[in-house]
Structure 1
Amino acid sequence: MVQIRAFVVGCLWLGRSRRLAEALPPRYRHRKHQAFIWTGWFLPIVNFWYPYLVVRDVHRATVGPAARGAGAWWAWFLTTDVVAVAIYVVVAGFALSDSAQYASYLPWLEAALAALTAATGALWVRIVREVAARQRARVAALAA
């Protein structure tokens, strides 16, 4: 439930941030249609890079060409997915065979997944905070 809520909140924020980035000068050409904010995560094959492109474009449109961090966030995100799949494979292997060998890997994989998730979350929060701060500053400057 936490992941579903985080996904919905993240996509809502990303959509609003993109609309604001498109409305504020200077204009930035986004590489992907806004529909990919939601659908890019689920489309087979392209879900390995479309979400990254959407986040990177919003980040660059707001911060400028010097925006850094989206690539690192996406690398950590994909690594987290790989570890989650490894955990699934280990659990399935343990269920199919009564070997305790598979069970000995689980604490290490779970700890790795927790650490990767924390690192990914920290990078995401950094991007969100940077985009939000820059957008607030740009709106305030236009209002003044």
Structure 2
Amino acid sequence: MATIVEFRLAQAQPANNLMPLPIGKRLFYYFPVPVLTGADLDWAVPRKTGQGQPFVHIKFNQKGAQRLAELTQRNKGRWLLITVNGNLEAGPRIGDPIDNGIIDMATNTDSEAARFAGELNGSVHRETSLR
């Protein structure tokens, strides 16, 4: 069974049609419809910074990169919640527009980076051809 990865926008202020989500001591409000999915991903790999901090290097396909650029340009200050099989995995805050189709997500451990990259890769939808 394929892994289901979804990306949703969230904000700190309540609004119509937004769903509440408590994270720690804060309450966020997310849009129920995903803005990106596993179909928008190309691949993900675990990596380390020069200082040894593990992270996941996430590359979107052409369609996903275009969507990512558009939504990060219009939604500065909001969060991009990343769920895997319905479980929240990450929630980076959107800063500058991402126009290269790449997100680097910091993780706490090498094993967490490997697991997260594996889950993301499990959601990638590839077209196959019969030979």
TM tier, smaller: under 0.3
- Structure with higher strand content: 2
**What TM-score do the two structures reach when normalised by structure 2?**
0.24
**What TM-score do the two structures reach when normalised by structure 1?**
0.23
Higher relative contact order (CA 8 A, sep 6+): 2
- Structure with higher helix content: 1
